[in-house]
Amino acid sequence: MDFTNKANDAEALLQFQDFGMGSTAAGKPPPYEQTHNFTDYPSSHVDIDEDQTQGPTQTAQSSQDNGPSMLTFAYYQRYFDVDTPQVKERLIWSFVPRPSRDTLTHYIRPSPDLYGPLWICVTLVFCVAIMGNIADYLHSGGEGQHWRYDFRKVSISASTIFSYALLLPLVLWLLLWWRRKEGDQAPLGFIEIVSLYGYSLAIYIPISVLLTIPFPFIQWTLVIVGAALSGSVLVFSLWPPLSASQRGMAVIILSAVLAFHFLLAAGLQLYFFRYSNDVVIVSNSAGTSHGHLRAVDSSTLDKVTELQPLSLIRAVEDYSPPETTNAETTVAKTTTIGVDFPATAIINNTKTEQEMIKSTHIKNTTSDLAPKKNQTITKLSTKILEESTTAV
Partner 1 sequence: MDSIPSISKPINGEGKPEFNTLDEPIRLTIVRDLKAVGNKFFHVLYPRQQTSLLTEWDLWGPLILCTFMALLLQGRSDSTDHDGGPEFAEVFVIVWVGAMAVTINTKLLGGTISFFQSVCVLGYCLLPLSIALALCRIVLLLQQNTLFFVLRCGFSLTAFFWAVWAAIKFLGDSSPPRRKILAGYPIGLFYFVIAWLVVSLSNS
Q: Please give the residue ranges that form the binding site for partner 1 (CB under 8 A).
A: 73, 76-77, 79-80, 82-85, 87, 115, 118-119, 122-123, 126, 130, 133, 142-143, 147-152, 302, 305, 307, 311, 314
**Minimum distance of partner 1 from residue 208's CB (angstroms):** 14
Choose among 204, 202, 243: nearest CA to 222. 204
Residue whose CB is less far from partner 1, 123 or 348: 123
The span from the CA of 274 to the CA of 74, in Å, is 44
Q: Are 204 and 265 in contact (CB under 8 A)?
A: yes
- φ, ψ at 62 (rounded to 5°): -75, -30
Residue whose CB is less far from partner 1, 311 or 326: 311
Residue whose CB is less far from partner 1, 252 or 307: 307
Is residue 303 helix, strand or coil? Answer: coil
- Determine how many CB atoms are found less than 10 A away from the CB of residue 336: 24
Q: Are 180 and 244 in contact (CB under 8 A)?
A: no
Residue whose CB is less far from partner 1, 54 or 123: 123
Compute the Cα dihedral for 97, 98, 104, 106 and give only its sign.
Answer: negative
Cα distances (angstroms) measured from residue 352 to each of 101, 226, 282: 68, 49, 17
Residue whose CB is less far from partner 1, 302 or 355: 302
**Minimum distance of partner 1 from residue 307's CB (angstroms):** 6
Burial (Cβ within 10 Å: 0-12, 13-18, ≥19) of residue 174: exposed
**Minimum distance of partner 1 from residue 148's CB (angstroms):** 5
**Minimum distance of partner 1 from residue 186's CB (angstroms):** 26
**Minimum distance of partner 1 from residue 138's CB (angstroms):** 13
Q: Which residues have a Cβ under 8 Å from the Cβ of 305 and sit 6 or more positions away?
A: none
Q: Which residues pair with 336 in a beta bridge?
A: 300
**Minimum distance of partner 1 from residue 349's CB (angstroms):** 35
Residue whose CB is less far from partner 1, 126 or 260: 126
**Minimum distance of partner 1 from residue 120's CB (angstroms):** 11
Residue whose CB is less far from partner 1, 34 or 84: 84
